[in-house]
Amino acid sequence: MYDCIIIGKGPAGISTAIYISRSNLKCLVVGKDETALKKAKSIENYYGFESPISGEELFRRGINQAKNQNIEIKNDEVLDIEYLNNSYLVKTVNNEYETKTVVLATGKNRKMSNILGEDKFIGKGISYCAICDGYFFKNKNIAVIGSGEYAIHEAGILQNVSDKVTIFTNGGKLPENRSIEIKNVIEGRIDAIRGDKKVENILLNDKRSIPVDGVFIAQGIASSIDFAKKLGIILENNNIVINDNMETNVPGIYAAGDCTGGLLQISKAIYEGAKCGLSIAKKLKNI
């Protein structure tokens, strides 16, 4: 049992871990190498660097700093967070971990499929959360759009409500070794999601039109928004709402960094990480 699992190893996640581990609590950071930070070619506005530093270099230094402080870091993708009795189960591609608290430090959600028709049908057949909306499509034709582990995970949930679930990879390739058997896969590129008042079909680039009743967008990896929707965390303009202690409205779930909105800068991510780490330490140690 961990005291805290931090999802994300960008500035917010690593900063949270440094403050928590100094309070002698058992924490784990689970994250991928893809972060907003690594996209920054040249950073000139961060305190203490006389000449510009690249995001890639700053990221490398942050990870090494945490490792030097014996912080446990796993390079893995989180697929789901489930509530247990007074604790949480964090499910990743490779493992499952139990923890008292979770910190969402997953960065900014920049995920939209950008497929023609997506905007028009949100809430009219298009969903982003299998566990929340899957039941509306019981025994119906369900499409999952995506080509990674997260799409497979969402399709697995939907296969419990219908045996007519198809993953549309939109030109991508699904991973070969799959933990869940997926019966129907269509690999062609998608031109549009179409319908009149609600979703009716998916038009492929090869001009085939595949009838569907529901479409679940599960591109890339699960974001803070996906986790928030599953856990009932309040969002405002797609940002996680937190209180002054970095807590969400769901007990034991905290958030820090770009995913809480506001100033999307390294300094703010680090400030929130520090605040979040101290707040969790205070709570768990009853200080």
Ligand X SMILES: Cc1cc2nc3c(=O)[nH]c(=O)nc-3n(C[C@H](O)[C@H](O)[C@H](O)COP(=O)(O)OP(=O)(O)OC[C@H]3O[C@@H](n4cnc5c(N)ncnc54)[C@H](O)[C@@H]3O)c2cc1C
Q: Which residues bind ligand X (CB under 6 A)?
A: 7-13, 30-32, 34-37, 39-40, 43, 45-46, 55, 77-78, 105-107, 221-223, 257-258, 264-267, 269
Q: How far is the CB of 88 from ligand X (least distance, A)?
A: 14
Instruction: Return d(Cα 160, Cα 76) in angstroms, integer.
Output: 26
Residues in the chain: 287
Q: How far is the CB of 257 from ligand X (least distance, A)?
A: 2
Based on the number of CB atoms within 10 Å of its own CB, is 11 exposed (0-12), middle (13-18) or buried (19 or more)? buried
Strand ranges (DSSP E) for 205-284? 209-211, 214-217, 235-236, 239-240, 253-255
By beta-carbon proximity to ligand X, the closer residue of 3 and 76 is: 76
By beta-carbon proximity to ligand X, the closer residue of 105 and 212 is: 105
Based on the number of CB atoms within 10 Å of its own CB, is 210 exposed (0-12), middle (13-18) or buried (19 or more)? middle
By beta-carbon proximity to ligand X, the closer residue of 201 and 223 is: 223
Tokens in use for 174?
């699904």
Q: How far is the CB of 132 from ligand X (least distance, A)?
A: 17
Helix (H, G, I), strand (E, B) or coil at 279: helix
Q: How far is the CB of 208 from ligand X (least distance, A)?
A: 32
By beta-carbon proximity to ligand X, the closer residue of 172 and 188 is: 172
Q: How far is the CB of 229 from ligand X (least distance, A)?
A: 13
By beta-carbon proximity to ligand X, the closer residue of 30 and 202 is: 30
Instruction: Return d(Cα 165, Cα 23) in angstroms, integer.
Output: 47
